[in-house]
């Protein structure tokens, strides 16, 4: 612990100055995920290259070499590099616990100055811990709200200023939308892209979740069984989720259909606002409907950045990451990709800005949001099982209790192995 604090103190002294050189011609390999689109202006590679160039103006002896991969490839890409003995110095992706458990990551206390560590939104800092030591630094975050198409609501005789707050109201609104000819009254993306996310949102709205207070998996809890049973019987079986089976409906396709005016309601994160704007959709948002009222805690998602030990560039990695987490850089990324900032100063600045008024409902939920159990080494395997299997719960003759029990057993086995 002493060494970590000493490193952090040293970083706080150097990270603020201009022109500091730790060593000549140190090249940091950065591998990151793509948040943008195919255009050069929207690509995350361009964002990172701009940031690296600005950093090099202050630290001329350090160069950051950037590689960006699509989300569906990034986890396998980094894992492959690590297995081949070619770990990046810095990686930005969706999970960190496997690498931390294998002793391959620097603790955050050895990379960031104490003030920068203290700036993280508390709930996100805790979510970055493995066995109470923080290894994952939150890089971008989001929470979820119910999105609905106001024009389709009006056409269906629904109040465009009153989104449903309960499951019963959601089902009634979906039935009215179907009667008005809406192709997908409620989009239920339980396909392999992000089925674990949609599943967690519904678990939370039914009073359940993935884990209990002690961190143990409770996937087959009575609350979760009741939630998926209600979903199948009251939305899917009545044709209120469209003609395509939820098990083969991916989030990106559901978002695209909403932006095309074909979806009445769905759960979405902040970037859906920009997509809906491009489609000229007049939309509203509301808290996720729950069994008896709005869901108390929505789902939160964070993506992570981490520093690998293999090449021993601790001080250079720390200098760069302290730069990454400056308030203007955190807020700049959040603005650029319609995400939520991960530090308290950047969050406060956005909360107080009229320009970011529509993001405020998402920001207000962040500290109380329920996150994936990313600090569990078993989560990577468990999330894969959820993505692949949970959609089959919506099949007409599926054994929901048996399916959730099977997923629970696989999660427990992964936990034991970890």
DSSP for 239-252, written as a single string? TTT-SS-GGG--HH
> Could you report the per-residue pLDDT of 207-237, keeping only the tens digit for each?
999 999 999 999 999 999 999 999 999 999 9
Of 22, 30, 32, 92, give the one whose Cα is nearest residue 62: 22
End-to-end Cα distance, the chain: 25
CB atoms within 10 A of CB 117: 18
CATH topology for 145-297+376-417?
D-Maltodextrin-Binding Protein; domain 2 (3.40.190)
Where do the structural domains in the chain lie, given as residue ranges?
A: 2-142+301-371, 145-297+376-417
CA distances from 278 to 215, 258, 274, 283 (A): 41, 11, 6, 12
User: Would the pLDDT of 1 be above 80?
Assistant: no
More confident position, 75 or 190:
190
- CA angle (335, 341, 345) in 5-degree steps: 110
The band of 15, judged by pLDDT with boundaries at 50, 70 and 90, is very low
Mean of the pLDDT values across residues 12-19?
37
Asked whether the beta carbons of 259 and 275 are under 8 A apart, the reply is yes
User: Would the pLDDT of 19 be above 80?
Assistant: no
Superfamily of the domain at 2-142+301-371: Periplasmic binding protein-like II (3.40.190.10)
Side-chain-side CA neighbours of 223 within 13 Å: the count stands at: 18
Q: What was the pLDDT predicted at 158?
A: 98
The percent of residues above 70 in pLDDT, for the chain, comes to 93
Q: What was the pLDDT predicted at 24?
A: 60
């Amino acid at each position: 612990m002493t060494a970590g604090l000493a490193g952090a103190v040293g970083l706080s002294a150097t990270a603020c100055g201009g022109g500091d050189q730790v060593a000549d011609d140190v090249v940091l390999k950065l591998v990151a995920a793509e948040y943008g689109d195919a255009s050069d202006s929207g690509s995350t590679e361009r964002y990172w290259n701009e940031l690296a160039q600005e950093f090099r103006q202050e630290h001329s002896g350090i160069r950051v070499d950037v590689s960006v991969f699509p989300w569906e490839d990034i986890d396998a890409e980094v894992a492959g590099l690590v297995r081949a003995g070619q770990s990046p110095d810095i990686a930005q992706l969706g999970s960190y616990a496997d690498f931390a458990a294998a002793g391959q990551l620097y603790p955050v206390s050895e990379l960031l100055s104490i003030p920068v560590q203290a700036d993280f939104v508390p709930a996100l800092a805790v979510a970055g811990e493995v066995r109470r030591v923080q290894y994952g630094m939150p890089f971008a975050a989001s929470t979820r709200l119910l999105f609905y198409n106001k024009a389709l609501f009006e056409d269906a005789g629904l109040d465009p200023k009153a989104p449903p707050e309960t499951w019963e109201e959601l089902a009634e609104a979906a039935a009215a939308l179907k009667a008005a000819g809406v192709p997908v009254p409620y989009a239920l993306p339980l396909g392999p892209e992000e089925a674990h996310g949609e599943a967690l949102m519904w678990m939370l709205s039914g009073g359940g979740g993935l884990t209990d207070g002690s961190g143990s998996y409770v996937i087959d809890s009575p609350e979760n069984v009741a939630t998926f049973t209600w979903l199948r019987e009251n939305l899917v079986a009545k044709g209120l989720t469209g003609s395509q089976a939820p098990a083969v409906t991916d989030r990106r396709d559901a978002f695209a259909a909403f932006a095309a005016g074909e979806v009445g309601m769905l759960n979405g994160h902040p970037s859906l606002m920009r997509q809906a704007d491009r489609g000229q959709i007049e939309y509203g948002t509301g808290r996720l409907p729950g069994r008896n009222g709005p869901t108390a805690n929505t789902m939160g998602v964070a993506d992570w950045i981490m520093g690998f030990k293999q090449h021993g560039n601790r001080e250079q990695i720390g200098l760069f990451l302290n730069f990454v987490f400056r308030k203007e850089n955190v807020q700049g990324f959040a603005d650029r990709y319609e995400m939520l900032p991960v530090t308290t100063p950047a969050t406060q600045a956005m909360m107080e800005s009229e320009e970011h008024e529509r993001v405020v409902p998402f920001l207000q939920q962040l500290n109380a949001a329920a996150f994936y159990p990313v600090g569990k080494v078993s989560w990577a395997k468990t999330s894969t099982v959820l993505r692949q299997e949970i959609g089959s719960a919506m099949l007409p003759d599926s054994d929901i209790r048996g399916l959730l029990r099977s997923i629970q057993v696989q999660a427990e086995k992964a936990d034991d192995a970890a």
